[in-house]
Amino acid sequence: MRKLTLIDKLLQNAEEKCQAAGGRFTNKRRDILENLIRAEHPLSAYDLVELYNQSSEQKIQAMSVYRILDFFIEMQLVHKLPTLNKYVVCSHLACKHNHKDQYFVVCKNCGDAQEIAMNPTLTKELNESVSSVGFQLIDAQFELLGLCNACASKASN
């Protein structure tokens, strides 16, 4: 019996989370998620349409991809990055726990994104800052623009 690959495990974990929430993990959803996992960087919805239509016998349309992405975002398996109009798998796909506050750093040069868990102090500071102007926080996810390690060291050469 063949050992499960890492991706198999991620997909299996994702399936469990979907089913636990009463959602189905259809073939289309599985394939879209797998493509996004393998990409290892943010993709647009239309990137995913192309990828799917190249790698599969079947065809999918943009409308369906958007619906599937919405579903995964609801399940917290995928995040949307509004500054890029792209989507990326949650870095906690392998974890059992549901993650809390996180943000993304986006590399201006290579476009890669990294999900960063907020430490308690940062969360606290942010919450205090927001509530000090009478605002009720619903979702703290955000993106910061900068240079990743790799690109920063290249740039300084």
Binding site for DNA (CB under 7 A): 23-24, 26-29, 44-47, 58-64, 66-68, 71, 82, 85-86
Is residue 157 a contact residue for a second copy (CB under 8 A)?
no
Q: Which residue's CB is nearer to DNA, number 142 or number 150?
A: 142
119 lies in the binding site for a second copy (CB under 8 A) = yes
Q: In whole angstroms, give the CA distance from residue 153 to residue 88.
A: 25
110 binds, among a second copy, DNA, Zn ion, none (CB under 5 to 8 A by kind): Zn ion
* Tokens 């392998």 sit on residue: 94
In the complex, the smallest distance separating the C-beta of residue 80 from a second copy, rounded to whole angstroms, is 9
Contacts of 129 (CB under 8 A, 6+ apart): none
Nearer to a second copy, 33 or 45 (CB): 45
Q: 90, 80 in Cβ contact below 8 A? A: no
> Does residue 136 touch a second copy according to CB under 8 A?
yes
Q: List Cβ neighbours of 155 (8 Å cut-off, separation of 6 or more).
A: 109, 147
